[in-house]
């Protein structure tokens, strides 16, 4: 079991078809205790209940620093430790440059960037104390290519910020044996992308994906498992592309 008894916190993990939920499910399969954080307490609890008694679902808005610290405190109190954090919560808006207003900018950057910072700050003291931990940050191919179909320039900026933040955290936390890595998913079929793809658009997109299929949440979950577990014990500050070859 790759994550035997490891306490694994995953943000934005209640969405039924989402990357976070698939990651929580896979972590549980590998012996981890999944702590599902999301906006709606009932949805988070339901997602955790589906996995079994060893798991928990808690409400936590990652843009709220106090809420992040309160959630981490509660988890440490109940479980005694936090071994893994997956910063997965994120929202997108398909806007063009000139349509991005201050509220759009704030909403998108707040969840991905502020959320990754605050939630990491909340778990790092516990990881440092135990000289062990793995943080996985979910960025996006949009950060690398500049834009995408579902994300505007502010989304690309937020996700590029996540890559820089993750590398800086990896450098600072390395001496305490806390690893920090990023995953850059390509086009993954979840509620964010949903059923918004027309057949024509899908055909067009597939021309740019050597593996000739869209990704699914489990593709990303498996990369999170690798980075969360000791399989990646000498890897920190890295970015793992999970995009079917989109950037070749």
123 binds ligand NAD (CB under 6 A): no
- Residue from 2, 29, 30, 39 in contact with ligand NAD (CB under 6 A): 39
Q: How far is the CB of 157 from ligand NAD (least distance, A)?
A: 13
Question: Does residue 160 belong to the site contacting ligand NAD (CB under 6 A)?
Answer: no
Which helix H or strand E contains 109, and what residues bound it? helix 102-109
The tokens of 157 are what?
Answer: 């900026």
d(CA 236, CA 84): 14
Catalytic option among 105, 118, 155, 234: 155
Judge whether 118 counts as a catalytic residue.
no
According to the binding rule CB under 6 A, does residue 28 interact with ligand NAD? no
- Exposed / middle / buried, residue 23 (Cβ in 10 Å: 0-12, 13-18, 19+): buried
Choice from 7, 9, 188, 240 touching ligand NAD (CB under 6 A): 188
Pairing of strands 239-242, 56-59: unpaired
> Which tokens in the block code for residue 25?
């499910």
For 34, 46, 47, the CA distances from 55, given in Å and listed in that order, are 5, 10, 9
What is the rounded CA–CA span in Å between residue 136 and residue 138?
7
Q: Is 90 in the site for ligand NAD (CB under 6 A)?
A: yes
* Minimal distance, residue 131 CB to ligand NAD, in Å: 28
Active-site annotation, residues = 155
Binding residues for ligand NAD (CB under 6 A): 11-12, 14-15, 17-20, 38-39, 61-63, 88-92, 111-112, 115, 138, 140, 185, 187-188, 190-193
């Amino acid at each position: 079991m790759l994550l035997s008894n490891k306490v694994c916190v995953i943000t934005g993990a209640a969405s039924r078809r989402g990357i976070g939920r698939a990651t929580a499910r896979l972590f549980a399969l590998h012996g981890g205790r999944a702590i599902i954080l999301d906006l709606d307490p009932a949805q988070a609890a339901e997602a955790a209940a589906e996995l079994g008694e060893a798991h928990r679902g808690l409400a936590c808005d990652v843009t709220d620093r106090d809420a992040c610290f309160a959630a981490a405190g509660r988890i440490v109190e109940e479980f005694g430790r936090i071994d893994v954090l997956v910063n997965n919560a994120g929202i997108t808006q398909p806007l063009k440059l000139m349509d991005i207003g201050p509220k759009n900018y704030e909403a998108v950057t707040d969840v991905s960037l502020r959320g990754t910072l605050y939630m990491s700050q909340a778990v790092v003291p516990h990881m440092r104390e135990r000289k062990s931990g793995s943080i996985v940050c979910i960025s996006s191919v949009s950060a690398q290519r500049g834009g995408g179909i579902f994300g505007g320039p502010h989304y690309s900026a937020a996700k590029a910020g996540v890559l820089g933040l993750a590398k800086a955290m990896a450098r600072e936390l390395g001496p305490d044996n806390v690893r920090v890595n990023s995953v850059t998913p390509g086009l993954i079929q979840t509620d964010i992308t949903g059923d918004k793809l027309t057949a024509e658009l899908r055909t067009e997109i597939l021309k740019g994906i050597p593996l000739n299929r869209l990704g699914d949440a489990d593709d990303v979950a498996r990369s999170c498992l690798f980075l969360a577990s000791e399989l990646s014990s000498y890897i920190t500050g890295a970015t793992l592309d999970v995009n079917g070859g989109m950037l070749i």
